[in-house]
Amino acid sequence: MLVGPASEPALEDAVAWDFSTEPEFQEQLDWVAEFCRTEIEPLDLVFPGAAYSRDPKAKALADPLKQQVKDRGLWALFLDRDLGGPGFGQLKLALLNEVLGRYRSAPVIFGTAAPDTGNMEMLAAYGTEEQKQRWLYPLMRQEIFSAYSMTEPQGGSDPSLFKSHAVRDGEEWIINGEKWFTSAGARADIIFVMCTNGMFVVPRDTPGVEVMEYPALHNHIRYNNVRIPRDHLLGPEDGAKVLAQRRLGGGRIHHAMRTVAQVKLAFDMMCERALSRESHGKVVAGHQMVQEAIADSYAEINMLRLLVLWTAWTIDNSSTREARTQIAACKYTCAKVLREVSYRALHIMGSLGTTNLTPLQAMWAAAPTMAIADGVDEVHKVTVARGVLTGYEPHAGLWPSEYIPAKREEALKKYADLLDADPDLAAWAYRAGRSMLHPH
């Protein structure tokens, strides 16, 4: 059993994961790997962005690939069966994301791309039936795309500092505020806007939604007297924080799953290059510092992978809420491992690694974003520490619970009768005690 807070549910009696995958699902994983390599990667290289495009010619290229995924029963991998997904659970999703995360368009082709995944989970959990018909099911079919507008220029991701607010005006809400780092905001059809008093679904073409041209991907958006119907409130009024936690928890673990794929790709590139180049009279892999980089990366990647898989297994056997400490640990660990492994791989690649001619420069550049998106590392570390500490209690008295003299004194009481009856044993215990406490 891996170490976790005592407050987490006892999982010893749950279905065990034995580090193997059933043959039927392994066949699916093998198909996904081949499909991504032979179909999705060429599409990304020749027609980048085609998977998202509304252009009929681009859709004619991407839609048949999406249909193949649907025919295999692999569409919308993260959703339960009652919502139209395969109902695989998080552990199998993690194994699939270890493949999908290597390819830019794979999550879109498989109907499991952020930020749509988290937004769909919010709609599924808190949306009315009318809201699901209007937004959830079209999102599942990729008839529309979405964005999540939470972070603010001054308040960051701290809801207590947010200024964006909605005011009721008859049968409408009027939203005013400013959001920063709204990923995919420029291409979204609907935007989930977190205000001080609720979560609202805002069509992007609503008058007053001003999407700045910068940054290109993570957009700066102003909401200037944006009027939306009253029924565009998602969940209860003043319930934005609850919805955000539900959304971000799933998003964080999915980020970590895909990061495992990224660091494994960087590692593959590192090892291949180390065996392919020569430096100072021998192959690069023969140098001890390169071997150290490979060894450290191997260990860090596998520690991250096991943490992610254990967390996914915990979610499957309890809930996202019960796994919140593990999810937080995954989030900041994946950022750290991505930063370290991508840098080592870039360094071993040499000058080529600093260009955009391999994926390494983009990975290295993405590491700081990973450490900030969905909450900065420091916040997640606080979450982990608080969660872990709930499983401990302060120890009364002057000395800690593992203070050897005190523990030995209690242990002597257990053998008191035996020691009283046998002077030789008592002498032995006395000498052993002096040796233990005064070894020098």
**For 11-24, how does the pLDDT look when each residue is reduced to its tens digit (9 = 90+)?**
455 555 577 888 99
- Distance between CA 118 and CA 139 in Å, rounded? 11
H or E stretch at 19: none
Q: What are the boundaries of each domain within the chain?
A: 23-140, 146-234, 242-389, 404-437
Mean pLDDT, residues 297-308: 97
Reported confidence tier of residue 130, pLDDT bands at 50, 70, 90:
very high
Strand blocks (E) in 5-114:
none
pLDDT at 106: 96
Q: Decide if pLDDT at 4 tops 80.
A: no
Please state which CATH number belongs to domain 242-389: 1.20.140.10
Q: What percent of the chain has pLDDT over 70?
A: 95
The answer, as to whether pTM is greater than 0.95, is: no
Q: Decide if pLDDT at 246 tops 80.
A: no
pLDDT at 11: 45
- Distance between CA 72 and CA 57 in Å, rounded? 24
pLDDT at 369: 87
Asked whether the beta carbons of 289 and 347 are under 8 A apart, the reply is no
Biggest CA-to-CA distance, the chain? 95
Reported confidence tier of residue 1, pLDDT bands at 50, 70, 90:
very low
Query: For 184-199, how does the pLDDT look when each residue is reduced to its tens digit (9 = 90+)?
Result: 899 999 999 999 999 9
Query: For 27-84, how does the pLDDT look when each residue is reduced to its tens digit (9 = 90+)?
Result: 999 999 999 999 999 999 999 999 989 999 999 999 999 999 999 999 988 887 777 6
Mean pLDDT, residues 165-185: 95
Query: For 227-244, how does the pLDDT look when each residue is reduced to its tens digit (9 = 90+)?
Result: 999 999 999 998 888 887
Please state which CATH number belongs to domain 23-140: 1.10.540.10
- Helix and strand numbers (H, E) in the chain are 16, 10
- Distance between CA 337 and CA 321 in Å, rounded? 25
* Alpha helices (H) in 277-403, listed in sequence order: 288-317, 324-349, 360-370, 377-389
Mean pLDDT, residues 136-163: 90
pLDDT at 5: 40
Q: What percent of the chain has pLDDT over 90?
A: 70
Reported confidence tier of residue 8, pLDDT bands at 50, 70, 90:
very low
Kindly indicate whether the domain formed by 146-234 is annotated with CATH number 2.40.110.10: yes
Residue 294: CB partners within 8 Å, gap ≥ 6?
Answer: 267, 270, 271, 274, 285
pLDDT at 14: 53
Strand blocks (E) in 164-271:
165-169, 172-183, 190-195, 198-203, 209-211, 218-229, 233-234
pLDDT at 440: 61
- Distance between CA 213 and CA 220 in Å, rounded? 8
Mean pLDDT, residues 424-440: 84
pLDDT at 13: 53
Query: For 378-420, how does the pLDDT look when each residue is reduced to its tens digit (9 = 90+)?
Result: 989 999 999 999 999 999 989 999 999 999 999 999 999 999 9
Indicate the DSSP class of residue 51. T
